[in-house]
Amino acid sequence: MEKYFEVLCMCPLFRDIAHWELTKALRCLNARVFSFEKGEAVMNESEPAKYVGIVLTGSFQIVRTDFFGNRSMIANLVPGELFGESFACAGVEVVPVSVLASEAAEVMLIDCLKISHSCSNACQFHQQMIDNLLQIVAAKNLVLHQKIEVTSKRTTHEKLMAYLMLQAKQFGSLEFEIPYDRQELADYLEVERSGLSAEIGKLRRQGVIEADRNRFKIYKPFDV
């Protein structure tokens, strides 16, 4: 188990848990490691959600299937990343996605109830893990909420301004860098890249913003 410690330490679920406690913690949680060949499923749609998964080696894909069987890729998971925590915590009876190994890969599965329910031994790390889990799920919540707030605007102009002003507010300055290139920003705002570039160009000519690659500067508020 020790060979996975490096990747486990990167996992937010174990944040602030001492290295020496990890062995005890994993035993107490009844954490188990499973190996998968390419294409095998860790979780299948319509199974009840019970486990939190942590990618140890290799990579996995989260896939969703709609009513008619059409599949779409939701995300790609690499070592250290967590999955299934929202489904397990929400106690959904049917997982809406499948998690498939995209190559030979290993995963650690932990029964979510083992995390949230303190064990009879009153292990110290339990409290920290509950805090971590709550923190992870709540933080994801805020990120999603923020994205909805921006993308619920109807025009590219409004979306862009809403996004930039949110960044300005968070950064505490009207001059800041964003973590996306043009294509990624367009994907985030749910608009066309070319339309986004056109809008940025327009705002630049109007003197509303300055934009160089991922560095932005807002000069004055237009309509919000």
Partner DNA sequence: TTTTGTATGTTGAAATTTCAACAGAGGGGA
Partner DNA sequence: TCCCCTCTGTTGAAATTTCAACATACAAAA
Contacts to DNA by CB under 7 A: 154-157, 181-183, 190-195, 197-201, 211, 213-214
Give me 151's structure tokens.
């993308």
DSSP letter (8 states) at residue 181 = -
Partner whose binding site includes residue 28, from its own copies, DNA, none (CB under 5 to 8 Å by kind):
none
Residue among 116, 91, 95, 110 nearest 51 (CA): 110
DSSP codes joined into one string, 75-108 = EEE-TT-EESHHHHHHT-SS-SEEEEESSSEEEE
- Cβ–Cβ < 8 Å for 88, 51: yes
Per-residue binder mask for its own copies (CB under 8 A), 66-95, x = binder: xxx-x--------------xxxxxxxx---
- Alpha helix stretches (DSSP H) within the chain: 5-10, 19-28, 85-90, 112-116, 124-151, 156-171, 182-189, 193-205
| In contact, 178 and 172? CB cutoff 8 Å | no
Answer for the pair 104, 37: CB distance below 8 angstroms, yes or no.
Answer: yes
Residue with token string 């190994």: 101
Within residues 16-45, the interface with its own copies by CB under 8 A covers none
Least separation in angstroms between CB 126 and its own copies: 9
DSSP 12: G
Q: Between residues 6 and 192, which has the closer beta carbon with respect to DNA?
A: 192
Question: Which does residue 200 bind out of DNA, its own copies, none, counting CB within 5 to 8 angstroms by kind?
Answer: DNA
Question: Tokens at residue 101, please?
Answer: 């190994």
Name the binder of 91 from DNA, its own copies, none, CB < 5-8 A by kind.
its own copies
Nearest distance, CB of residue 57 and its own copies, angstroms: 27
Based on the shown chain and the rule CB under 8 A, indicate whether residue 127 belongs to the binding site for its own copies. Answer: yes
Residue partners of 174: CB distance under 8 A and separation at least 6: 168, 217, 218, 219
CB of residue 165 vs DNA: minimum separation in angstroms?
17
Q: Quick one: what does residue 213 bind among its own copies, DNA, none, with the CB cut-off 5 to 8 Å set by partner type?
A: DNA
Q: How far is the CB of 152 from its own copies (least distance, A)?
A: 5
142 binds, among DNA, its own copies, none (CB under 5 to 8 A by kind): its own copies
Please say which residue, 126 or 159, places its beta carbon nearer to DNA.
159
Q: Which positions touch its own copies (CB under 8 A)?
A: 64, 66-68, 70, 85-92, 96, 116-118, 127, 130-131, 133-135, 137-142, 144-145, 147-149, 151-152, 154, 162, 165-166, 168-169, 174, 190, 218, 221, 224
